[in-house]
A and B are shown apart, each in its own frame.
Chain A
Amino acid sequence: MTPVLDIDALLDDRGTEIIVCCGSGGVGKTTTSAALALRAAERGRKVVVLTIDPARRLAQAMGIEQLDNTPRPVAGVDPAGGGTLDAMMLDMKRTFDEVVESQASPEKAKQILENPFYVALSSSFAGTQEYMAMEKLGQLHREAQADGTYDLIVVDTPPSRSALDFLDAPERLSSFLDGRLIRLLIAPARGPARLMTAGFSLITGALTKILGGPMLRDVQTFVAALDTLFGSFRQRADKTFALLQANGTAFVVVAAPEPDALREAAYFVDRLTDDDMPLAGLVVNRAAPAPRTDLSAEEAITAAERLRSGDSSSLAAGLLRLHADRVRMVEREQHLRERFVASHPQVPTAVVPAMASDVHDLAGLRAIGEAMAAQD
C-alpha cells in the first residue's frame, strides 16, 4: 500500500518554510505550485509563490503579468484564515543583473552588464533560469526571515529538458566560473609572467581557431571583470543548496500518469534521496478519474458492438465505448503507477484527477487544491 501524501498536514506544519515543485515539462508544475500556495494561504499561512512561466490567463488571474521581479498581492484570496498570498514571476535577466549590481562596484558592474558575453549568458544559457530561480528563492527567504513578511515560500521550477537540470545547473555554472578554464582565461590579465605555459598557448590557439578572436576577447574581458565576484557566486550557490537541504524545505515531485513523466519523477526522487534533500512526496496530476461502476472494458465493448449492429446512432453504444476507453486509461495509468511504486514504495503520493476544463482562475486552483488534499 502506497503511503498517502497528506497535503494539508504539509501546508499546516509551520516548520514547512519552503515548498519546491519539480518535475518534467508539461506535467502541470505551475498549476500545482499555484494551487498549493493558494490552499496554504487560505489555511492561514503567509505565502509567496514564485512562478517561472505561467499560462497567460493564470498569470492574469493572479495579477502577475508584468515582470517587475517583485511579489504582488493576489486579489480574491479568502482572508478568513488570516493568511495572505503574494505572487511573482521570475525575471531571470533582471535577477542576474541585480546579483552583479549588489556584488560589484558601480563601475565594475556597468562593465560586466555591458559585456556581450554577459548579455548572452544572462539571457540564454540553459542553466541561467534555474540558477536565478534558486537565487531568487534565497533572496525571498532572507527577506522573509528578516521582516517576517512570509512564512511559506512556494517555488515552481523552470521547464527544463529534464527535471534534474534544476539541481545541476547552478552547480554547473558556478563550477565553470571557478574552474580551470576561467583561470586560464584570466591569466593574461594577471601579467605576462604566467602566460607562457605550454597548456595556455595550446588552448588559446585552439580556442581562437574555433571561436574566433573577437569572441574569445569578449569572454576574457567578461571573466576578468567578474573575477572578484566568483567567490561570492560560489558562496551564494552553496548557501542556496544548503537551504534546499534544510528541514524547513519540502520537495514535491510533480508528474503526469505517462511513462516519460513518471520516469523523470523516479530519477528525481532518487537524486533527492542521494543529495539528502527533503522529499515530501509525489503529486500525479491529470489522472483519468476512476469510473463509479465495475463494468469492464471488454463487457462494455461487446455490448456496444451488439448495439452498433442494430442502430448506429445509439447514445447507449457511445456511452459504452466511452466507458471502455476510460476503463482502459485508468488501468494503464494504474499499471504505470504500480511500476513507480514497485521501485519507490516509500514515496507518499497524492493523485489529482483530470479536471473537465482548463484551470485559469482562483476557483480552478481551489478545486485542484481540494482534490490534492482529498485522497482516500
Chain B
Amino acid sequence: MVTGKGGTGKSTVAAALALALATVGRNVLLCEVEGRQGIARMFDVDSLPYEERRIAKGAPDGAGRAGQVHALHIDPESALLEYLAMYYKLGRAGKALDRFGVIDFATTVAPGVRDVLLTGKVYEAVQRPRGGRNKSQITYDAVVLDAPPTGRIGQFLGVNSELAGLAKVGPIKNQADNIMGLLRSPRTAVHLVTILEEMPVQETSDGIAELRAAGLPVGGVVVNLVRPQDLSAASLAQVRDDVVDPTAIISDLKRAKVDVDAALVASLVDQARDHAVRRQLEDEQRALVAAEDLPTYELPRLAGGIDRGALLELAQLLRAQGMTS
C-alpha cells in the first residue's frame, strides 16, 4: 500500500515501486482506486478498464532482464457487480438493484462499503491460488496499491470502521474481516510518501501513529521530491550567512567561460539563498522523519517531470536503497 498527502507524488512512488519489484520472472500488479486514470497517464497508455492489463516491463537488472508490471483500475461499481456475480446468484434481482439505485447507494453513500469493495478486489488479486481453475488469470508476486491519501488511509483500510459498527453480522462483515486479516498480516506493508515540508511530515507522523494503533504493518517512509544537492554544506552555510566572496565566484565563472557581471553573480547568489533556506527546512523535517525510526528512502525532484523514463530512474533508486529487498 502506498499512501501520502496530496501533492507528495504518492502515485509516482507507487508506480516506481511496482517497476522496482518487477525483477526477472516476477509479475507485479499495480492498482489504483481513485478513478483518476493516473497510471494510464504516467505510462502513456489508453485509459484502463476494470481488467488487468500488462503495461510495462520492470526496471532492468544489470543484465538488462526484467519482470512484468500489470495494471488494474478498480472502480467500486464494477467491483460490486463482480463481487455479486461471484458470490450471490441474484439473477433478476441484480438488474433491479441497479435500477433502484442500490448500486449507487452501496458505492457512494453507504458508509464504508465502497472501501471494502476496493480493498476486496486487491484481496482477491493477492489471494489468487497459483495454478487455480482459471488458467487465464495471472498470479502475482506482488501487488502495489496506490491508496487514498494519508488523511483517509485509516478509514480506507477499515481502521475506525463505521461498517464494523453497522454490519455486526452478515456477509459484508465476513468479507471485511477477511480483508482485515490480510491487511494486518506480515504480507502487507503500508508505505507513506512525504515531501520535506511541515504539513506533509506532520500528516505522515499522524498516519504512522494511526496505522500502528490499528495494528497495521507500517512499511517505510519515502521522502519524495527532494531538492537537488548541488551545494555542499559549507557552501550552503556561506550563502545563508551572507559571507560569499563575489570575486572568487567571478573568477571561477570567467574560468568557466561565462559572460559574467555583478548582476549575474547577485542573482545566482539570491537563488542560492532561497535554496539554502529551503534546504535548512528540509533538514529539520528530515530529522523528524528519521525520528519515526522506520526505513526511509529518498527520491529526487526531477526537473523534467514524470514520464516512463523518469519512473524507471526512480525505480532503480528505490531498489538501490533496498526498498524491494
Seen from chain A, the residues whose Cβ lies within 8 Å of a Cβ on chain B are 24-27, 53, 55-57, 116-117, 119-121, 123-127, 159, 161-162, 172-173, 176, 179-181, 184, 199, 202-203, 205-207, 209-215, 218, 256, 258-261, 289, 291-293, 295, 299-300, 303-304, 306-307, 310-311, 313-323, 325-326, 328-329, 332, 356-358, 360
CB within 8 Å of A: which B250-299 residues:
252-253, 255-258, 263-264, 267-275, 277-278, 281
Q: Which of B23-31, B52-60, B91-99 contacts A (4 or more CB under 8 A)?
A: B91-99
Which residues in B have their C-beta under 8 angstroms from that of A159? 6, 149, 151
6 nearest A-B pairs in the assembled complex, by CB-CB distance? A212-B170, A26-B7, A25-B6, A26-B6, A316-B252, A120-B162
CB distance from A344 to the nearest CB of B (A): 19
A312 to chain B, nearest CB (A): 9
State whether B100 touches A180 (Cβ < 8 A). yes
| Contact across chains for A214 and B35 when beta carbons are under 8 A apart | no
Q: Which of B166, B167, B304 has the most CB of A within 10 A?
A: B166
Contact of A125 among B8, B97, B109, B275 (CB under 8 A): B109
Give min CB distance, B12 to chain A, whole Å: 10
How would you classify the secondary structure of chain B's contact residues: helix, strand, loop or mixed? helix
Output the least CB separation between B238 and chain A (Å). 7
Q: How many A-B residue pairs have CB under 8 A?
A: 220
Report yes or no: B228 in contact with A206, Cβ–Cβ below 8 A: no
A residues less than 8 Å from B256 (CB atoms): 303-304, 306-307, 316-317, 320
Q: Residues of B contacting A218 with CB < 8 Å?
A: 166
Q: What 20 new A-B contacts, CB under 8 Å, besides A126-B108, A162-B34, A357-B277?
A: A25-B6, A53-B151, A57-B198, A116-B165, A124-B112, A159-B6, A161-B148, A176-B104, A180-B100, A202-B96, A206-B96, A206-B97, A214-B170, A307-B252, A315-B244, A318-B272, A319-B249, A319-B268, A358-B198, A358-B199
| In the complex, residue of chain A having the shortest beta-carbon distance to the beta carbon of B108 | A172
Provide the bound-state CA to CA distance between A212 and B173, in Å.
9
Question: Which chain B residues numbered 214 to 249 have a C-beta less than 8 Å away from chain A?
Answer: 228, 230-232, 234-235, 238, 244, 248-249
Q: Does the CB pair B170–A215 fall under 8 Å?
A: yes
Indicate which residue in A126, A206, A259 contacts B94 across the interface (CB closer than 8 Å).
Answer: A206
Contact B88 A26 (CB under 8 A): no
How far apart are B22's CB and chain A's nearest CB, in angstroms? 24
Indicate whether B127 reaches chain A with its CB closer than 8 angstroms: no
Residues of B within 8 A of A259 (CB): 41, 305-306
Q: Which residues of chain B have a CB within 8 Å of any CB of chain A? A: 5-8, 34-36, 38, 41, 84, 88, 90, 92-94, 96-97, 99-102, 104-106, 108-109, 111-112, 114, 148-149, 151, 155, 162-163, 165-173, 197-199, 202, 228, 230-232, 234-235, 238, 244, 248-249, 252-253, 255-258, 263-264, 267-275, 277-278, 281, 303-306
Contacts A310-B255, A358-B281 given; does A318 touch B235 at CB 8 Å? yes
Contacting B171 at CB < 8 Å: which of A210, A299, A320?
A: A210
Per the bound structure, the CA–CA distance linking A242 and B278 in Å amounts to 44
Closest A residue to B306 using CB positions: A259
Complex interface: chain A residues within 8 A of B111 (CB): 117, 120-121, 124-125
| A145 → B minimal CB distance (Å) | 32
Residues of B within 8 A of A289 (CB): 274
- Which chain A residues lie closer than 8 Å to B238 at the CB level? 315
CB of A123 within 8 A of CB of B264, answer no
> When the two chains form their complex, are residues B255 and A306 in contact, meaning their CB atoms are under 8 A apart?
yes
CB–CB B7/A261 < 8 A? yes
